[in-house]
A = this chain, B = another copy of it.
Amino acid sequence: MAQPRADPGGPLLGARLPHLLYGGDYNPEQWPESVWEEDVRLMREAGVNLVSMGIFGWARLEPRAGQFDFGWLDRILDLLHAGGISADLATATASPPPWLSRAHPEMLPELADGVRLWTGARQHYCPSSPIYRDGARRLVEALADRYASHPALAMWHIGNEYGCHVPACWCDISAADFRRWLQTRYGTLEALNAAWGTDFWSQHYSDWEEILPPRRTPTWPNPGQSLDFQRFSSDALLECYKIEHAVLVKHTPGVPITTNFMRFFKPLDYWKWAAHEDIVSNDSYPDPNDPEAGWLAAMDGDLMRSLGGGRPWVQMEQSPNRVNWRPVNAAKRPGQMRLWSLQAVARGADGILFFQWRQSRAGAEKFHSAMVPHGPVDSSPTWRAVVELGADLKRLDAVCGSRVPAEVAILFDWESWWALELPSKPSTELELLDQVQAYYRHLYEANVAVDFVHPEADLGGYRLVLAPNLYLLSDVAAAGLERFVQAGGMLVMSFFSGIVDPADRIRLGGYPAPFREMLGLRIDDFLPLVTGETIGIHSESLGRGQGTVWSETIEPEGAEVLASYSGGDLDGRPAVTRQDFGRGAAFYIGTRLDSTTMGRLLRRAWVDAGVKPVLSAPAGVEAVRRVNAAGTSHLFLLNHGDTEVELEGTPGLLDILTGRRLAGSRIKLGPRQVAVLEEPR
């Protein structure tokens, strides 16, 4: 998953659709057929070449058990094909029809406190339900059978936003499935008892049937049980996906398959999921009111590219303008939708799609903006932006299939995330994404390209590896990290790493047991800080700063002290250390550094490691480079600011968005404007 594979590149769907993909979710069943012709006409006007069809179509495709009605889908697919538009055909299983849950209420999910979730919205199914799984399989069989050779079919879209509302279920059916999963994982009951430490609080199990999901309990349930339930819940939904996947592979072996991810979505281990996808796709809804939205979206894009091992991915959903599900739903500012769309392309996306094509007239999402608004199209600023973006993407076809090279890796693992944020820790203020973001934003601001990698992945291709927090890790991962540094890699690791094994059991022998030698230190105690509390930091090389969230008593056993605490009971004790190890070196950070100090430290680390930023650019300007198999690269320059900026550029380079070459050495970018410069090999 680390470095871009030597890979032919080229368009994501190959000859089937040799362009950047452009379109959106299309729900023609919500409209009279009389509207469909206008839809196709407008799609062509906007440059749409792909639409996601039938995501919530089950109740219309199978209005009664076993009675299928494909007529309407036949007609619209033919119409699309005639218009030159391809289909990303959904398996329509995201929301079961009312007749299914009425006939089998035991398929409805239950929360930890026994509350049942009912029909009336969407996604009301227990992931372990055989009723749901069989019903979904039958529907997908029928769909795949019917449309396997339809010329509009370009791609399959399994389910939709798996786990979005119901990431887990605590019902009796899930309990039985959980036990089966545990039997597979542990083999014997004694292995499970040992892993979960059930001698604590009299929890020893004498029979598999005694084991339950972590339902509502008098106080915290067993952490091992909770962690395994998160693993199981991700796997239970993945099993739903795999059942449909198997049907599709059988019927249409060549058609690429995806399901849409949701950024850093905690409940699903996307590393495991992505391994079963041909194309990784993402739903992206940054808040226009959030000043951090721009770089957070960049981070999402880097994750999606990383999940696919560097391959191009698809922005499967974004909003043309306002959403409807925040308390207050701000509109996108002029140019913002285009900016964020091209940012996704910069970070490796080869497709930009929206939710949705035509704004619904009824239902819970009728105030979610769409490519085609409720009112007249002609005067709609949203529609104009959609048409312009279509034209832009046509001009960018040259980037199809190209990759984003990176020399830096951030270690990221869902299992450790789950374990870290279970309750009864030294501090609940310690959250993984906050830690990751505290690293990422400095790389982003300096235009240093970065991949996310699994801790057990091969780190060989990177110069610098960052470990914002690795609370839980396997022996394999620990050994790999040590090997990486031994071999000359540079590592930056933060506090509360290496604490537990994959069963969330303490690694004894002094924290952080697996890294004590590499880091050259020992932690005697954790001293978390309360909200608002700070601790002074002093350093010759990094200056004065402060820490929040965490402090600890670091006992150096060889490490050089880069920064110390000042004031308080830890006065003069180490806060940041560094140790040469093998041919590499490892930094260790014992608190949550303020942003300035963190930035200085990271810069020192990447300079030491020989990492080169893409570009030195004014604040607010994002620079990303995509390189194709032939060695041609495209430099994306995106101005996230509200004012015009000027950058240095190489005279003569072609901006493929405008078709103009740089006259001099200055590039001007207006607010939220973008340039894409072609750099020959």
Contacts and interface: CB of A to CB of B under 8 A. Distances in A.
A102 B210 contact: yes
Contacts of A56: 200-202
A188 interface: no
Nearest to A28: B199
A120 B200 contact: no
Interface in A356-379: 359-367, 373-376, 379
Contact of A506 (B223, B361, B429): B361
A78 interface: no
B504 A362 contact: yes
A30 B216 contact: no
Contact of A120 (B114, B199, B217, B289): B217
A426 B322 contact: yes
A509 interface: yes
A527 interface: yes
Contact of A200 (B63, B124, B360): B360
Contact of A364 (B113, B119, B219, B503): B219
Given A92-B202, A120-B215, A202-B92, A98 B524 contact: no
B333 A429 contact: no
Given A118-B212, A511-B375, A362 B197 contact: yes
A363 B223 contact: yes
A541 to B, nearest CB: 28
B114 A222 contact: no
Interface in A499-551: 503-506, 508-511, 522-531
B207 A289 contact: no
Q: Which 6 A-B pairs have the closest CB atoms?
A: A197-B362, A200-B363, A165-B218, A375-B510, A121-B217, A59-B204
A38 interface: no
Interface string A175-197: 00000000000000000000011
B382 A197 contact: no
Contacts of A165: 218-219
B63 A98 contact: no
6 contacts: A97-B202, A109-B218, A121-B201, A121-B219, A122-B203, A379-B555
Interface in A26-42: 27, 29-30
Contact of A63 (B97, B204, B376): B204
A328 interface: yes
Given A96-B202, A114-B115, A426-B367, A530 B289 contact: yes
A146 interface: no
A202 B57 contact: yes
B331 A202 contact: no
Query: Which range holds the interface residue count of chain A?
Result: 35 or more
A328 B203 contact: no
A54 B200 CA distance: 10
* Residue among A117, A122, A211, A360 with most chain B CB within 10 A: A122
A661 to B, nearest CB: 33
Contacts of A329: 426-427, 528
B506 A366 contact: yes
Given A99-B206, A364-B423, A375-B509, 16 more contacts: A30-B197, A97-B202, A109-B218, A114-B115, A118-B216, A119-B217, A221-B364, A223-B362, A324-B426, A327-B427, A328-B426, A361-B505, A375-B510, A375-B522, A379-B522, A380-B524
B428 A327 contact: yes
A58 interface: yes
A425 interface: yes
A362 B506 contact: yes
B98 A203 contact: yes
Given A166-B218, A206-B63, A364-B424, A321 B201 contact: no
A362 B200 contact: yes
Interface in A292-316: none
Nearest to A200: B363
B362 A526 contact: no
A573 to B, nearest CB: 12
Contacts of A59: 198-199, 202-204, 206
Given A99-B206, A120-B225, A200-B30, A328 B569 contact: no
A447 interface: no
Given A95-B202, A206-B99, A196 B362 contact: yes
Contacts of A666: none
A117 B218 contact: yes
Interface string A256-285: 000000000000000000000000000000
A98 B30 contact: no
A260 B530 CA distance: 29
Nearest to A430: B328
B206 A27 contact: no
Nearest to A334: B569
Contacts of A527: 322, 330-331
